[in-house]
Amino acid sequence: MSAPFDSAHFRAVLGHVPTSVVIVTGLDANGAAFGITIGSFTSVSLDPPLVGFFPGTQSQSWAAIRESGRFCVNVLGAHQEDMCWRFAKEGDDKFAGIEWVPSAGGNPVLPGSIAWIDCEIETETVMGDHTCVVGLVTSLDHAESVENAMVFFRGKVSSVKHVG
Ligand SMILES: Cc1cc2nc3c(=O)[nH]c(=O)nc-3n(C[C@H](O)[C@H](O)[C@H](O)COP(=O)(O)O)c2cc1C
């Protein structure tokens, strides 16, 4: 019989992999805004332009966003720590007091985001307790003169400075 899997050790080891921090936003079928903090975002393909991320299968926000068939990836700068934690909690009032603007696809672009990537859902594949979501990029842009990006490392937010 194999030893029971140590999920705390799994999380501790994987926590040593620094990740970007994005907030995936979108609208449900009624036009209400939803968002979820995500560290599993990645570029997938250039031709066609595809990106992907992994929401949990229990994510209420992803269940709402996927109704529209679209989403927007908001890439966070180091100055957006409040936003990171706000969208990492369960609940319906994550957008309270936030003045977002619509992307070309109508999805929320959050104030201060250093880049935003609008997508249509291409594929969804359940993998264990998460779903691999791949999006076809429909429009994208970045802010001017970005100095500090946000990274997540060992359970904490930190900053990476552009040197050049
Ligand atoms: C830095 C960071 C990265 C995260 N990355 C992911 C992720 O890739 N996938 C995921 O399912 N949850 C991730 N989470 C947790 C979700 O943000 C959290 O479970 C949130 O409550 C989900 O929103 P929902 O409950 O409204 O669906 C991350 C949280 C943080 C702080």
Domains (range + CATH), the chain: 7-41+60-117+140-161 (2.30.110.10)
| Residue 19, SS3 per DSSP | strand
User: Ligand 1 within 6 A of 61 CB?
Assistant: yes
pLDDT for residue 126: 98
pLDDT for residue 1: 63
Beta strand segments in 39-129, E: 42-45, 50-53, 70-75, 101-102, 108-109, 115-127
CA–centroid distance, residue 23 to ligand 1 (Å)? 9
CA–centroid distance, residue 89 to ligand 1 (Å)? 8
Q: Buried b vs exposed e over 14-52: b needs ≥16 C-beta within 10 Å?
A: eeeeebbbbbbbbbeeeeebbbbbbbebeebeeeeebbb
Query: For residue 58, which atom of ligand 1 is closest to its CA?
Result: 27
CA angle 103, 100, 40 (to 5 degrees): 70
To test the pocket of ligand 1, the residue of 16, 21, 28, 38 to mutate (highest count of ligand atoms within 8 Å of its CB) is: 38
CA angle 79, 85, 89 (to 5 degrees): 160
Query: For residue 21, which atom of ligand 1 is closest to its CA?
Result: 1
To test the pocket of ligand 1, the residue of 22, 28, 36, 133 to mutate (highest count of ligand atoms within 8 Å of its CB) is: 36
Query: Phi and psi of 83, rounded to 5°?
Result: -65, -40
Nearest to 11 by CA among 129, 126, 125: 129
Where the chain has pLDDT below 70, the residues are: 1
pLDDT for residue 107: 98
The kind and range of the H/E element at 98 are: none
User: Ligand 1 within 6 A of 135 CB?
Assistant: no
